[in-house]
Amino acid sequence: MKLLIRNALLIYPEREFQEKRDIYIENGIIKEIGDNLHINNIDEVIDGEGKIIVPSMTDMHTHLREPGFEWKEDLLSGSMSAVAGGFTSIACMPNTSPPLDQRSFIEYIYKRTKEINLVNIYPIGTITKGREGKELSEMGDMYLAGAKGFSDDGSCVMNSEILRCALEYSKIFNVPIIEHCEDINLTLEGSINWGKTATLLGLKGMPWTAEASIVARDIFLAQLTQGKLHIAHVSCWQSIEMIRWAKKYGIKVSCEVTPHHLILTEDYVKETNYDANTKVNPPLRTKEDQESLWKALEEDIIDVIVSDHAPHHQDDKLKEYDLAEFGISGLETLVPLVITYGYFHRKLSLPKLLKKISYNPSKILNIPYIPLEKGNIANLTIIDLKKEKIVNPLEFFSKGKNTPFKGWNLKGWPILTIVNGKIVFREGKILK
């Protein structure tokens, strides 16, 4: 297959650089990058006008629900959702049933990934056995099987001594401990941000303190152990200020944010009249928090943008607000949300924004990052900046149709995804 893309904007997130060039791909290898390329016997030419090409897009926080909750998602539907969302790699969280807390489960994810052969899936192992927070899991064994990080995501490791040990132990393998920061004693039965809106709506709130106090504790543990700490889905300005402080003092901490925390606030719960698709953990916070997240993104205090893809069956969402499950099906809307709100509305540069969904996550997880360079295997996504589309969850490849962005008009959709040299997604279709 000889594919020539003329005059596209090539993005080099690793150098925060962009340039307009032709790019020629032959049998999955980038053969040439240049101006006015002359190639014979081309199979296909794509006009790159208004399109950008991004290498190795990675979503490092997804929930694929297999094993145990396959009616919500499985590794196949999750893979299809990932490539439709423009991702060449994803990491999957271990809060399955049973949880990914031993070697054989890590091996299972790799085996299925190979069989499905669509997207690179990198499993995250649990920090504690059974995600119970009581005893460290066999991290070394899981690392050898290919676990790229450890997390009890969905739950916080409440025991400080266990988290200290995990940070200490993980240093041997140089992998991150990914923390879901939430003091559960402060959030019990909560379903929305703690404050005026919660009171008005008659819902029990989850205070920012629950997140920020654990962020602070974990940062000090990272300082003590010099382990690698990655803070999942930050949502409030107090957490941001703690992370800013930690980075200033050279503590090994990185963090991520989701598009829904960047774009929505607690007011949206009211506006949508308690739509359970606005119920996420951590909860949507205030305007002030939201502004601090954008600022931190621009200042590189926030390293990564993730979907926190959490597909649920509609039975889990069609409930009273406080009884519904937490989470959003996010893989297929992350890119257009980031382009629409980060690039078009906030005017952040494309390389800067896209670095947070390509280069940075791959460096944190120590997984392959393949830049746009002559001789490299093509592992890239074409995004059409001019393509506008209304979000329709019924078109999602994910089994989870739970999105608060239903009906939103977004601009900048992925139109073609090449994983390890193979075109796997094109104009709304999965290619096997």
Q: What's the chain's length in residues?
A: 432
* Gap between the terminal Cα atoms of the chain: 15
Q: Does residue 279 bind Zn ion (CB under 5 A)? A: no
Binding mask 219-238 for Zn ion (x = CB under 5 A): -------------x------
Closest to Zn ion by CB, 14 or 153:
153
User: In the complex, what is the shortest distance from the CB of residue 153 to Zn ion, in angstroms, rounded to a whole number?
Assistant: 4
Closest to Zn ion by CB, 76 or 232:
232
User: In the complex, what is the shortest distance from the CB of residue 126 to Zn ion, in angstroms, rounded to a whole number?
Assistant: 13
Closest to Zn ion by CB, 232 or 253:
232
Beta bridge partners of 206: 193
State the sign of the Cα–Cα–Cα–Cα dihedral 399, 82, 84, 411.
positive
Catalytic residue among 153, 289, 308, 316: 308
Closest to Zn ion by CB, 187 or 379:
187
Q: Does residue 182 bind Zn ion (CB under 5 A)? A: no
How large is the greatest C-alpha to C-alpha distance in the chain, in angstroms? 68
* Cα 321 to Cα 203: distance, rounded to the nearest angstrom: 8
Residue at shortest CB range from Zn ion: 180
Closest to Zn ion by CB, 180 or 401:
180
Active site residue 315: no
Closest to Zn ion by CB, 7 or 155:
155
Q: Count of residues binding Zn ion (CB under 5 A)? A: 3
Q: Does residue 180 bind Zn ion (CB under 5 A)? A: yes
Cβ-based burial of 202 (10 A; exposed 0-12, middle 13-18, buried ≥19): exposed
Helix (H, G, I), strand (E, B) or coil at 365: helix
Alpha helices in 73-118 (DSSP H): 75-84, 103-116
265-292 in b/e form (b: 16+ CB < 10 A) is: bbebbeeeebbbbbbbbbbbbbeebbeb
Phi, psi (rounded to 5 degrees) for 212: -65, -35
User: In the complex, what is the shortest distance from the CB of residue 155 to Zn ion, in angstroms, rounded to a whole number?
Assistant: 8
Q: Which amino acid is at 368?
A: P
User: In the complex, what is the shortest distance from the CB of residue 186 to Zn ion, in angstroms, rounded to a whole number?
Assistant: 16
User: In the complex, what is the shortest distance from the CB of residue 184 to Zn ion, in angstroms, rounded to a whole number?
Assistant: 12
Chosen residue from 66, 74, 152, 153 binding Zn ion by CB under 5 A? 153
Q: What share of the chain is helix, strand, coil (3-state, %, to 5)?
A: 35, 25, 45
* Cα 354 to Cα 371: distance, rounded to the nearest angstrom: 13
Among the listed ranges 78-86, 106-114, 145-153, 318-326, the one in contact with Zn ion (CB under 5 A) is 145-153
Q: Which amino acid is at 137?
A: S
Q: Does residue 312 bind Zn ion (CB under 5 A)? A: no
Q: Does residue 131 bind Zn ion (CB under 5 A)? A: no
Annotated catalytic residues are 308
Residues of this chain that interact with Zn ion (CB under 5 A) are 153, 180, 232
